[in-house]
Amino acid sequence: MSAQHDTEQRFPAPRFTAQRLLHIIDGISTLAGKAAAWLIVGLMLLVCAEVFKRYMLNMPTAWIFDVSNMLYGTLFMIAGAYTLAQNAHVRGDFLYSSMKPRTQATLDLVLYVVFFFPGIAALLYAGWDYAGDSWRINEHSNVTADGPPVYQFKAMIPLAGALLLLQGGAELMRCVICLQTGIWPTRLKDASEIDVVEDQIAHSEHIDEESRKRVIEQAHHIDEAARQRGMGGDGNR
């Protein structure tokens, strides 16, 4: 018993914290977004093949238009939760960034409750019926002759709504934590433009070491300020 107690004290079991839950949800949204990003490759190959067939072989394919629209639409719907997880949706930063964290959290909390969740709930409710009807009748596109099936595309509507609802719950939790602590919880970081800039500067022969460090430090400061929502400072409680 004593040895077991000493082991538990030395290696305590990991606690399931709110921050860990937030990162798990961020990870789900990120995984979905990165998976959907591969649709760009399929879309590019599809369009290139159609251009070649149309202009080189004089053999256009009618259903390519429908499929390209479905791939593009699926990408944007599924990537919505990923964009929310990265705090990358458009906002009025010229006002928002001057607010203190608790003021930002209060504003976000109100907007999520009043606008976001009712809208996503409506999307889920209508999208579920919309997709269900499409599957029942084996719906095909009527935009072009011999249109391809669209029921699998319409199934992405409730799926996108579910992902957004899950990520929205995480954002609501972030607001509550910020109201309690005065500090925004961290986000699960992903590759960004800063990583590319840092790599380019690191291999540049035209910038001295001191300037390189200063530019990279300033870039990270700006990126962190944007990710943590606003420049009011973590200490403004």
pLDDT tens for residues 164-188? 999 999 999 999 999 999 999 988 8
CA distance 173 to 116: 14
DSSP secondary structure letters along 79-137: HHHHHHHTT-S---HHHHTTS-HHHHHHHHHHHIIIIIHHHHHHHHHHHHHHHHHHHHT
Burial class of 188 by CB neighbour count within 10 A (0 to 12, 13 to 18, 19+): middle
For 23-61, letters b (16+ CB in 10 Å) and e give bebbebbbebbeebeebeeebeebeeebeeeeeeeeeee
pTM flag (> 0.85):
no
- CB under 8 Å to 95, separation ≥6 — which residues? none
Does the pLDDT at position 237 exceed 80? no
CB of 82 closer than 8 Å to CB of 32:
yes
pLDDT tens for residues 12-64? 444 568 889 999 999 999 999 999 999 999 999 999 999 999 999 999 888 89
